[in-house]
Amino acid sequence: MLLDKLFSKGRKEQVVIERITEHIRLLEVACEEMRIGMEGGDLRRIHHVLRLEREADAIRRQIIAAVYEGAFLPYLRPNLCRFAENVDRVFDAIEETAYCYLEMKLPSSIRDHCLRIAFYNVRISEMLLISFLAMLRGDRLREKTLAVRIYEKKIDDLKLEIRRKLRSLPVEGFWEGKALSDFVTGLTSISDIVEDASDDLHIMHVSMR
């Protein structure tokens, strides 16, 4: 069922839809900037990721404020807020990953794996936007939810391989090792949180039937 058949979309509802769409598009940009920055060692791109996180936080506050001002029917509001919070959690993970990257040198032994994960993070963020727009149209989400889970599984497999390689990787000191470990954790947790956000969309979709 289409959203506009459930309720009349007023200005508040339209603001929420626009801000959520902007939020997810910004997530795509952040993931792509992280990927490009890692691939080329371009620290300007990494710093751009940090600026995007601050911009995303402002958008999240706008979404939550509009929802609490009465946008949408009451039974949808908690799910919308939870979705916005989960998208913001993804930005937090990207921010942490970016900070760690600035404090370390990416070892050559895991570089290709990390770049592959960064690529999948871009794709999974794109799929989240596709899923949100599909929900607005009332389309089925099953295939899109499955695609998110497939990307998440691919990243999990790569994470296991990276962890195996890290066990035998020499580091110069505790803080270098911690930055590297936190970097891998942040990079691989992005897909987990996107999967949570995708589940939020599925719940909203089912509740609107």
In a structure prediction context, what are the per-residue pLDDT tens digits for the chain, which is 209 residues long? 445 444 445 677 888 899 999 999 999 999 999 999 999 999 999 999 999 999 999 999 999 998 888 877 777 888 899 999 999 999 999 999 999 999 998 999 999 999 999 999 999 999 999 999 999 888 889 999 999 999 999 999 999 999 999 888 887 777 788 889 999 999 999 999 999 999 999 888 887 76
- Helix, strand or coil, per DSSP, at residue 169: coil
Counted domains in the chain: 1
In sequence order, what are the residues at sequence separation of 6 or more whose Cβ sits closer than 8 angstroms to the Cβ of residue 40? none
Under 8 Å between Cβ of 171 and 105? no
The Cα 88–Cα 26 span in angstroms is: 11
Domain coverage including residue 22: 3-207
Task: For residue 199, give the CATH number of its domain.
Answer: 1.20.58.220
- 68 CB neighbour count, 10 Å cutoff: 10
Instruction: Kindly state the helix (H) or strand (E) to which residue 64 belongs, with its residue range.
Output: helix 43-68
The Cα 58–Cα 113 span in angstroms is: 32
- The phi and psi torsions of 75 (rounded to 5 degrees) equal -70, -15
Q: Mind listing the pLDDT tens digit for each residue in 73-113?
A: 777 888 899 999 999 999 999 999 999 999 998 999 999 99
